[in-house]
Structure 1
Amino acid sequence: MSPAARKTVVLVGDRRLALTNTDKVLYPETGTTKGRVIEYYERVAPWMIPHVKDRPVTRKRWANGVGGKVFFEKNLPDSAPDWVRHHTIHHTEHDNEYPIVDDLPTLVWMAQQAALELHVPQWRFGPRGAQQNPDRLVLDLDPGEGVGLPECVEVALAAREILHGMGLHPYPVTSGSKGIHLYAALDGRSTTAHVSDVAHELAKALETDLPDLVLSSMSRAERTGKVFVDWSQNNGNKTTIAPYSLRGRDRPTVAAPRTWAELEEKGLAQLTLDEVLERLEARGDFLHPVASASLAVGRDDHGHWDSDRTERANDAEQPARDRLAAYRAKRDASKTPEPVPAGAPTVRKDGTPTFVIQEHHATRDHYDFRLEHDGVLVSWALPKGEPTDPGKNHLAVQTEDHPLEYGSFEGTIPHDEYGGGTVTLWDDGTYELEKWREGQEVIVTLHGRAGGVRRLALLHTRGRGGGDEKNWLIHRTKEQPDRAADGGGAPADRQGDASRDGAVAGHRDGRRRITGAAAADTPPSDRRTMQATAASGTPRLDPADWAFEMKWDGVRALATVRDGSVTLRSRNDNDLTAQYPELQELAERAGVDGVFDGEVVAVDERGRPSFQLLQNRMGLTKAREVRAAQETTPVRFLLFDVLEADGHELTRLGYDARRQALTTVVEPGGAIDVPPAVSGDLDAVMAASREQGLEGVVAKKRSSRYAEGRRSEAWLKLKHHAAQEVVVGGWRPGNGRRAGGVGSLLLGVPGPGGLQYVGRVGTGFRDRDLDEIAAVLRPLARTTSPFVDVPGVDARDAQWVTPKLVGEVEFAEWTGEGRLRQASWRGWRPDKDPEDVTREP
């Protein structure tokens, strides 16, 4: 054994630690050895540990030095000393045991493992191992190609102004890599989802203020010449390089706290370990205010954990745990009609939060009040309903979190099941959040379809007077919005709801019309389509509870009829009106104003919808081209739902009532049709669909309301052939008759780390398709791959493009590596945006 490899046992604090290979060079460019790295971490520990204390640590190890293989480690290895503190984080499919760095021996042990980089989240573990709310906000200013620290400084100064306006005090850290991090202390009262949303809005505000310099979207393709404001590191599952951590770069640079005055000096550069130690010993930790404030979160005035507050924080959003576990444990999906999602909930990144009030005739009749928050419906049972008198509070008993899909649920739960009884929708809509103090107080302004606008407060009693810890009080505040009078009463003082009846009455021209429904108040421009969830296999669905419709192979569209004219908008809100002028016929066929949901299709000579044929009509903008295409490829509009008719809001009606309304007001004919739902069990309907050469079947729960802008398990899509929407990120040149043009397309699906490569497609094209594809892709050319993991063999002669376009392929199956097997091109999907694309089962 060489002297350098000889083991040396040293005493670090009160722990004995074996150090090996201390002469090994870990930074070849500067000759910095492992022994020097260990010395650095030993000296920097007093300033670094407060920033990482009680946080799970992810390590990047360079056992053979930078430039060599890097090991990314989350789990604590079996070889770790038994005195290293650790906590378990439960993920959906596995658990990870993370080490905690709260003392010098642990930090030195990590340095001995050549763990140069230490990464931590913005939250800490509580005293019993539960994840707390974040105690700091971070923005990562990441310069793209062509920009550097000077541009990051410009963005940092602009961000400082915004943060100061929010009452936050940011502190800069040069990242040790390319950019700058900004930290601001938080009081621990906001969930990770809320903090992440705030950071995202801040990034978008910076992009608006500095459009030529700032990028807030995650797209790597657009980062050249801009500073990407990475807000996502506030997500509870993400980490950031820890302050004072080394970086695995050519030189031993450090994530180093700086002053704002330094940032504005010329020649700003990343600092090395020697420079950082010299500054610390002379001037101290510039980031100390953030560490000091964050360590105080969850503790009382004496520095001890406040158990009440800690327990409340434990109930906040925890991405590492499944907030629907309690809900799922009480229900058997095979016995209850309620939605029982298999996976953990995910937080919606856009849209206004929703609420729902449901009437529940169970063992004890009550109302259920639910607010969308952190990916679930936080729920309270209201035995006496919603209060209408500010002078009288009502009891609200908090129950388990419910899935978002429950917001559209109506039906009868078997009496021998949990919550047995009938559930009906009473009021629903959106809400404005004024205050959400986890486990303490919630203040919201509801915008209900039936109950109108009103301001409510929920106050936790915390078991006072011997009461149950689940008990809250719900209070109608004295101060009410001016618009409250516009909406009707609250559920507690209404004895009926005509909007549920969907009555049909005579129309002056002999056609029947809708009466008794609530007045529509949603602007057509705010309407969004309800999305179906892809079913796994062929589920057992009772035709008494589910309706079955054929799945039409076309383009989804919402049609708004106003004053005799029709406006068509795609799922991603593109205006399709000019592309399909023949669909103006809907105004005459409907007879009343309304908003209708359907599919635009082109049919082949056998009368079957053909998505490839419809490609001839997509993207045309010139009137002459559209007229010519009408002659060769006429289209039809197949209606299957109605959101509004004759001034009445219908989205909160059940499926059957909406279908009755649709057939009531629309007279099929010409280019407009209302295909009927198909009778029979699902197997028979699927067989009929296959015989007719159709794409598949959509199953729709009869009790479900129309959940605008959401993907719901109340609608299930079942396809005969596997199909996948894909984002095009490049192409490879062809051979033979395709020489000089496009031979195949390189495809991706957005994933957690960026655009995940899913394979190539080179079949299913017509020759003219390839010519058109080449013309479409040419303006999007770029020099770098937009994918995070494209293999070298596919990248060898690839021509890369900015990933802005979505297409669709059929394929045989997914491989174990996440690639599409036997993919065949179906066509472009201009009605979809890249961020809408998700991997199908």
Structure 2
Amino acid sequence: MSGALTVTVDGRRVQLTHLDKVLYPATGTTKGEVIDYLARIAPVLLPHARRRPVTRKRWPDGVEGQVFFQKNADASTPSWVVTHRIQHKASANDYVLVDDVATLTWLGQTATLELHVPQWRVGRTGAHLPPDRLVLDLDPGPGAGLPECAEVARLARTLLRGMGLDPIPVTSGSKGIHLYAALSADPHAAASARGAARPPSSDQVSAVAHELARHLEAEHPNLVVSDMRTSLRAGKVLVDWSQNNASKTTIAPYSLRGRERPTVAAPRTWDELDDPGLRQLTFTEVLDRVARDGDLLAGLAAGHLSHLEPTPAHLARFERLADYRAKRDPARTPEPDVAPPPVVEPVETTPTPTFVIQEHHARRLHWDFRLERDGVLVSWALPKGEPTDPGRNHLAVQTEDHPLAYGAFAGVIPPGEYGAGEVAIWDSGTYDLEKWREGEEVIVTLHSARRGSRRLALIHTDGAHWLAHLTQPARPHPLRHPVDSALRRQLVPPSARGDDKVPQGDAAALGDVLLPMLASAATPGQVRGMRGRDAGAEWAFEMKWDGFRTLAVVERGDDGAGRARLISRTGQDQTAAFPELRALAAQVGDTLPVVLDGEIVALDEAGRPDFHRLQRRAHPQHASGEDATGRRSVDLMVFDLLRVGARDLTCEPYDERRRTLKALLDARAPIHLPPAFDGDLTAALATSRRLRLEGVMAKRRDAPYTPGRRTRQWLKLKHTRTQDVVVVGWRPLHAGEPHPDPRLAGALLLAVPGPDGALRYVGRVGTGLTDADRREAATRLAAVERATAPLDGVPRPDAQHTRWATPHLVAEVEFDGWTADGPDARLRAARWRGWRTDVAPDDITVEA
């Protein structure tokens, strides 16, 4: 069946196409059969994947075609798919949560074969809960196989049982075996038994797993290795402990694998591991086993799921929400509904309770403070927000209890409804309870990644009135990131606030709550599709500028005049580095604030962008002459508009944003509004080459602006291939010769993030570096020098004479292509372009 078919799954409409497409040529297995497997395996797969951010591996053209490694939910993701935003060092990704059969079905439609999940879950308020399971990945090296993995699994089982853990084996569907152990069936009891108030963190679990792997290696050196280096693994089994790290993932139990045959990560019995004919199982075999034996991993979920009968306590919790139900009509408000308790209800039990603080732009702006307690969210309204000064208490007004699901609510309560206005999650996390005297006193210590840990006391005074007292100021998180998507898109209109001021985030600056929209590299098929005569009706073509991406924010200062700020992709304030661009404030009118998207460029004498010149201007300590004095001017090429006053334009299509931008911006040097190219792609590329620009940007005319997301609504088409890389080491000039020069870098060693997030080596670059570049590189890298390589897999000839660097610094190179596909690919004929201080290592995407 090659046509489209729309099905309804759990009340969700999912369109299925090309069900007869063969995804596994070796067995003839089709996409339709994959979707059928996911639907049938869902009852046992979902308990082990639910509430875990999933990283997906997709094979749209089958397992013999290209694989796409996808973390972010792109614009094609249905609106009903539940996602969770994770803020990385300098970027944010919206991960899909595989919580229901409908989502599984949609994933099958997208040819997602592998689901990779972490060992921790997302709580009801969006908090990252402590890990609830430990995993060991037993991976055979060359000359070893499943029999050796089974032998190591039995050895590890003895150690784990001695620690009070009961591991369950899973043949991975690839080469090896995974061992899973639930950390506790009763998290509260486990914490008490350890003599600690808080369960172990991912770092602590990872450290224990590492020590276990080292012990196995010491006791069985001819069979086990705990070091990731491939050179040590011949004939041995790697005990990979690192997948317990909070940032790492493991193939989900019961997930398919993108191998030659449709094998599955399948739970096994310990008796099966003794079978000399042990092998990986296919999806049809796994379906038969589950029908016969049920879920062999059921005990793994006992640590976080329990099935509770409607006990008196459960019914009492439902009654506590009577006030909440009485004030809301589920048909009129998007807030979570409260249904009567069913006969059996799956309920999460968390090692530590959660809290949420929601910014609520109702008739009067206030913050709702909610603590998870006895199955509900006990709630207070804070008119002035959370106290930040121990010497000044804030009023807290107790309100009705809310359902636990409300902890994840962010949206608009319609006019006329109770609490009408916008709700955004201001902070969330877990808390330690010190004291709870019902109706009198509550003392808690809040823990959140965004705002650190702080100790609060709530003291009852009279009626519904309490005092919120800060007893211990916040210990801030070491890295400050932009606030999450709940605030980014919820800039409240005046009608919901009663004034004309834009709500400010914790940085008191609008630019800190925005991230730029990112583009994807165009595929050959997309390029062919945009060359048609009618392509201009769907796509707008702009010249691609070779500079620093920036969000330009114009706000009203204390003196009433506009002031411009420049925010980089990584959230850094660039204003002081480019003071001439403050002229923007006088060119956008009086309706403020204004948020623009653009590129800072340094033009050469012919008026073309010169990236090296821009770098020298941005870093005068590494420049000389006119660049060092800062007199070399820069320009700002503006190409998009996100906000004007109270009007949020991010949901508007490209054409409307451009029309508004043209009417708004009175562009005069150094501020420019380059026109979108009126013509087809062939002509646009020809113009770009004639002007000696980097390439062309193609943007869908009907697409909204999606902050922080890399989408296929914007496509980049470059004349030369470029790649952002992490510099992991350098070799002094003339290294290996009698007189090397440590002041100059001869070659830089490069890496990119692999599918699992770990760095993989992609070769060296030494061409294109001037003497000044070599001197600067040696200075920069010496400042972050380290004794050992920060990655595995560097060939011995390349590693000789290398001085290693902590992988913090990003650069850009030109190259002619990749030497191969897969993890062994190297850059072919790499040429140096320059440092990318506006890009972080986590932001790098590998160009196809």
In the superposition, the TM-score normalised over structure 1's length comes to: 0.46
Higher relative contact order (CA 8 A, sep 6+): 2
TM-score (normalizing by structure 2): 0.46
Bigger-Rg structure (1/2): 1
